[in-house]
Amino acid sequence: MIIARSRKGPVGTAEFASGWGIAIVSALIGSTVSGAQVLMHIVPPDTGYAGALFGLHLYTWAAITFLTAVLAAGVNLVLAREARPLDAARTSPALHRAATVTLAVLAFFAVTNLVACFLLQGFHWQMPGDPTGYRFFSDLF
């Protein structure tokens, strides 16, 4: 939100704080979902879902990342009064392009994740805890 708003003009303290507040709410929702996935696989005989990266599964890394994002957003909120109006993306063509690319990458990831979740879940109300295939395609064939 802050990056998108900075492309149009200066971002004031209230908009800056609102953006970080939205980031905290979003990260708490994400950490709840990834925490639920961690709890589904915490029982000792369960080896976890999918592969591990540096000894931790992707949903565990997601929980760590979301909670780190909450901490970072909290620090930014504490320092929000010290922030000057941010308008670098409007005055610098390079930063304006970087902001545009950043927003495009975020939109791409959001859309591809939604499509992947839809293909995994199909038209069913709930997604299985350990999907083994794309239910959308298995329901068609």
CA distance 80 to 72: 12
Residue-wise pLDDT for 107-122, tens only, equals: 999 999 999 888 888 8
Q: Which single residue is written with the structure tokens 């109006």?
A: 85
- Poorest-pLDDT segment among 27-36, 70-79, 128-137: 128-137
CA distance 3 to 100: 9
Three-state DSSP state, 52: strand
CA distance 27 to 29: 5
**Would you state the structure tokens that stand for residue 109, as one six-digit string?**
């990831």
| Most confidently predicted of 45-49, 110-114, 137-141 | 110-114
CA distance 11 to 39: 40
